[in-house]
């Protein structure tokens, strides 16, 4: 046997017996000094880290982003000095993770649920994360509501049983979500695979050019493989046989060298209030109309390498909206700011204080920081600079120094407003929901009504009434069809058992002893 094939402990000791624990006699009892067994079992006991509080079910791959050097017909430098976009044909390595939102780590990938679309680019200026979803909008526009929304979308905390009433109870009191619900209950609510879905940054960011001038920007990923969605019936059929079809599809396509690609587009808007629009440009429940704000291609992403180890490469990957590089900035979008706190906060809990030292999360350029210690600190002592005694800044004695050269902050607006907790002044909760409904093809509309009616028929009548009212506000026909759909479903349900219909055969008298 070759040396490299020999099993060792984590201390590097060869393991001679990996089958039997040490006991007094061959039947037991066991002894406490059995180091190999205790190390093995106690490490196993700690194998799982907390799953993500949202987006727990996911998969991902590595690849690269390649620049076009332009944003549409303009040189991209007109809008941003971010080096990750400059020049044509430049490649930046990346990791991407796709996910569902509400389900647990091993839940079916056929859920009617938005899909996460997170990308971490290891740029020459440090990491850039774009943490998006497949749909281009979101349910809520204020971060304050996120924990309640997620509680409502997950199972009943007492019984652990999911029920659509929870989601619609919340949604019926949150009219800003009607647009997102319209997409989610249409066939766009269940992407067929991760390879065949779009991605979007959803929130509004800023791009900053060399002169410090900023524009608002929205990002969109468009799959070159085309877009494919599942109807509820399709999804049910897939789920009956496979709860990991999307992970399998992505992994096997890369294995076959059919590398999935997405083109990255941006929409650009001058920074400002834009009184001419009937919505707030920072409101993430709204689409920016394509005719006014055309999609400008800026590059493409190719995924060409599967993870070597799912836990190391994907489960421990940490994406966040605060991870921007020079040439990018936050917009005033208050939802984005709420998100930005939440990601790194949860990652310190989920993975640990030093999560940024893990290979998948660390930038590909050198890190020189005085942020030190904490559990599992793995900084390389050789990288502590010329004077390893100085772990503070500023200093005349050594240590790391601030970058020289002109600091080039983006031009920021001057604010003149009182501190307040208040909703935005242009909510327009129904306008785009109605437009989206009218733009669906006939079959998509039928699916939408059918899916909504199915879910709403199981809800309290007060919730049904409130939802019909919201849909009517969006489009009269939309409300009318949902109402008729619910009535129809209730008729069909009348007489049928309320309990879930679970088949099973009686096994008769136990042949295996009482109680088995
Ligand atoms: C994951 C918070 C809105 C996309 C997460 C996680 C948290 C979180 C705590 C788990 C992160 C981890 O454990 O690593 C929030 C809050 C939001 C919000 C507080 C609103 C205020 C959104 C929106 C999008 C989005 C609007 C889409 C644009 C994602 C994605 C992931 C994620 C894709 C999974 C990232 C991964 O693959 O690791 N979010 N989120 N979230 N969120 Fe959000």
Pairing relationship of beta strands 115-123 and 261-270 according to DSSP bridges: unpaired
**pLDDT (tens digit per residue) in 182-213:** 999 999 999 999 999 999 999 999 999 999 99
**pLDDT (tens digit per residue) in 85-135:** 999 999 999 999 999 999 999 999 999 999 999 999 999 999 999 999 999
pLDDT value for 503? 83
Could you give the 3-state DSSP secondary structure of residue 221?
A: strand
- The ligand 1 atom at the shortest distance from the C-alpha of residue 350 is 13
Task: Tell me the percentage of the chain whose pLDDT exceeds 70.
Answer: 97
- Between CA 161 and CA 42 the distance in angstroms is 32
pLDDT value for 501? 75
Whether 505 shows a pLDDT value over 90: the answer reads no
**Catalytic residue check, 55:** yes
- Between CA 198 and CA 191 the distance in angstroms is 9
pLDDT value for 165? 97
Task: Tell me the percentage of the chain whose pLDDT exceeds 90.
Answer: 89
Sequence-distant (6+) residues with CB within 8 A of 487 are none
- Between CA 229 and CA 134 the distance in angstroms is 11
- The confidence band for 380, taking pLDDT boundaries of 50, 70 and 90, is confident
Residue ID of nearest Cα to ligand 1 atom 34: 55
- Between CA 194 and CA 230 the distance in angstroms is 12
- The confidence band for 23, taking pLDDT boundaries of 50, 70 and 90, is very high
Q: Of the candidates 115, 108, 111, 112, which has an alpha carbon nearest to the alpha carbon of residue 241? A: 108
How many residues appear in the chain? 516
Whether 407 shows a pLDDT value over 70: the answer reads no
Mean pLDDT in residue range 143-156: 98
Whether 145 shows a pLDDT value over 90: the answer reads yes
Instruction: Supply the DSSP string of 276-330, one letter for each residue.
Output: TSSS-TT-TTSPPPTTTS--EEEEEEEEEE--SSHIIIIIT----TT---TTEEE
pLDDT value for 497? 61
Cα 316 to ligand 1 centre (Å): 15
Whether 406 shows a pLDDT value over 70: the answer reads no
Cα 433 to ligand 1 centre (Å): 23
**Catalytic residue check, 133:** yes
**pLDDT (tens digit per residue) in 434-486:** 999 999 999 999 999 999 999 999 999 999 999 999 999 999 999 999 999 99
Is residue 130 within 8 Å of 96, Cβ to Cβ?
Answer: no
Cα 55 to ligand 1 centre (Å): 7
Residue ID of nearest Cα to ligand 1 atom 40: 339
- Between CA 10 and CA 14 the distance in angstroms is 10
- Between CA 448 and CA 436 the distance in angstroms is 11
Whether 214 shows a pLDDT value over 90: the answer reads yes
Residue ID of nearest Cα to ligand 1 atom 8: 343
Cα 355 to ligand 1 centre (Å): 17
Mean pLDDT in residue range 487-495: 90
Sign, CA dihedral 454-455-461-465, equals negative
pLDDT value for 388? 86
Mean pLDDT in residue range 419-443: 97
**pLDDT (tens digit per residue) in 240-285:** 999 999 999 999 999 999 999 999 999 999 999 999 999 999 999 9
Higher pLDDT, 515 or 357: 357
* CA geometry: angle 273, 277, 281, nearest 5 deg: 50
Q: How far is C-alpha 234 from the geometric centre of its chain's CA atoms?
A: 24
Catalytic residue, candidates 127, 133, 203, 450? 133
Q: Of the candidates 459, 444, 445, which has an alpha carbon nearest to the alpha carbon of residue 489? A: 459
Mean pLDDT in residue range 145-161: 97
The model carries a pTM of: 0.96
- What single DSSP character describes residue 128? E
Residue ID of nearest Cα to ligand 1 atom 24: 132
Give Cα separations from 253 to 225, 226, 299, 316 (angstroms).
Answer: 11, 15, 22, 23
**CB-based burial label for 282 (10 Å; 0-12, 13-18, 19+):** buried
Mean pLDDT in residue range 294-298: 98
Mean pLDDT in residue range 14-34: 94
Sequence-distant (6+) residues with CB within 8 A of 330 are 205, 206, 324, 336, 337, 340
For ligand 1, pick from 104, 321, 342 the residue to mutate: most ligand atoms within 8 Å of CB: 342
Q: How far is C-alpha 506 from the geometric centre of its chain's CA atoms?
A: 44
pLDDT value for 271? 94
Sequence-distant (6+) residues with CB within 8 A of 381 are 388
Pairing relationship of beta strands 74-75 and 91-100 according to DSSP bridges: unpaired
pLDDT value for 81? 96
Q: Which residues line ligand 1 (CB under 6 A)?
A: 52-55, 58, 97, 99, 116-118, 131-133, 138, 143, 146, 202, 317-319, 335, 338-339, 342-343, 346-347, 350
**CB-based burial label for 162 (10 Å; 0-12, 13-18, 19+):** middle
- The confidence band for 515, taking pLDDT boundaries of 50, 70 and 90, is low
- The confidence band for 412, taking pLDDT boundaries of 50, 70 and 90, is confident
**pLDDT (tens digit per residue) in 330-364:** 999 999 999 999 999 999 999 999 999 999 999 99
Catalytic residue, candidates 36, 55, 179, 220? 55
- Between CA 80 and CA 328 the distance in angstroms is 7
CB atoms closer than 10 angstroms to residue 320:
21
Could you give the 3-state DSSP secondary structure of residue 116?
A: strand
Rg of the chain (C-alpha set): 27
- Between CA 258 and CA 279 the distance in angstroms is 41
Cα 113 to ligand 1 centre (Å): 13
Sequence-distant (6+) residues with CB within 8 A of 267 are 217, 218, 220, 288, 290, 293, 294, 295, 296
Residue ID of nearest Cα to ligand 1 atom 37: 97
Q: How far is C-alpha 82 from the geometric centre of its chain's CA atoms?
A: 23
Question: Please, which residues bridge with residue 199 across strands?
Answer: 221
């Amino acid at each position: 046997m070759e040396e490299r094939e020999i099993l060792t402990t984590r201390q590097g000791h060869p393991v001679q017996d990996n089958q039997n624990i040490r006991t007094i006699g061959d039947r037991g009892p066991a002894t406490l000094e059995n180091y190999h067994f205790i190390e093995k079992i106690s490490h196993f006991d700690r194998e799982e880290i907390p799953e993500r509080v949202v987006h727990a079910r996911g998969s991902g791959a590595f690849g690269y982003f390649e620049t076009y050097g332009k944003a549409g017909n303009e040189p991209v430098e007109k809008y941003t000095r971010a080096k990750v976009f400059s020049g044509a044909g430049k490649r930046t390595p990346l990791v991407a993770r796709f996910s569902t939102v509400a389900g647990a780590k091993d839940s079916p990938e056929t859920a009617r649920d938005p899909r996460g679309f997170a990308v971490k680019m290891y740029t020459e200026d440090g990491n850039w994360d774009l943490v998006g979803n497949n749909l281009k909008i979101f349910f809520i526009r204020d971060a304050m509501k996120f924990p309640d929304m997620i509680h409502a979308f997950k199972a009943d905390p007492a019984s652990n049983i999911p029920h659509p009433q929870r989601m619609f109870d919340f949604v019926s009191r949150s009219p800003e979500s009607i647009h997102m619900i319209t997409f989610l209950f249409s066939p766009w609510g269940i992407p067929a695979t991760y390879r065949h879905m779009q991605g979007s940054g959803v929130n509004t960011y800023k791009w900053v050019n060399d002169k410090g001038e900023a524009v608002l920007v929205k990002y969109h990923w468009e799959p070159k493989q085309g877009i494919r969605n599942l109807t509820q019936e399709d999804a049910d059929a897939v789920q009956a046989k496979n709860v990991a079809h999307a992970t399998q599809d992505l992994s096997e396509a890369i294995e076959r060298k059919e590398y999935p690609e997405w083109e990255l587009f941006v929409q650009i808007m001058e920074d400002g209030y834009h009184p001419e629009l009937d919505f707030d440009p920072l409101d993430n429940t709204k689409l920016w109309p394509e005719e006014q704000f055309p999609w400008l291609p800026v590059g493409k992403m190719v995924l060409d390498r599967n993870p070597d180890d799912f836990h190391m490469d994907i489960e421990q990957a940490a994406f966040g909206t605060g991870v921007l590089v020079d040439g990018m900035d936050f917009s005033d979008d208050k939802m984005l700011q709420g998100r930005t706190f939440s990601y790194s906060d949860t990652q310190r809990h989920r993975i640990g204080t030093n999560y940024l030292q893990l290979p998948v999360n660390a930038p590909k350029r050198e890190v020189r920081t005085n942020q030190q210690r904490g559990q599992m600190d793995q900084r390389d002592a050789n990288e502590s600079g010329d004077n390893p005694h100085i772990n503070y800044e500023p200093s005349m004695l050594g240590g790391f120094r601030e970058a020289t050269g002109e600091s080039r902050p983006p031009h920021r607006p001057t604010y003149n407003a009182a501190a307040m907790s208040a909703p935005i002044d242009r909510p327009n909760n129904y306008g785009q929901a109605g437009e989206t409904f009218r733009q669906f093809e006939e079959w998509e509309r039928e699916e939408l009504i059918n899916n909504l009616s199915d879910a709403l028929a199981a809800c309290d009548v007060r919730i049904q009434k409130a939802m019909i009212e919201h849909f009517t506000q969006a489009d009269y026909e939309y409300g009318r069809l949902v109402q008729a759909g619910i009535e129809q479903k209730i008729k069909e349900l009348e007489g049928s058992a309320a309990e879930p219909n679970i088949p099973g055969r009686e096994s008769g008298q136990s042949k295996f002893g009482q109680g088995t």
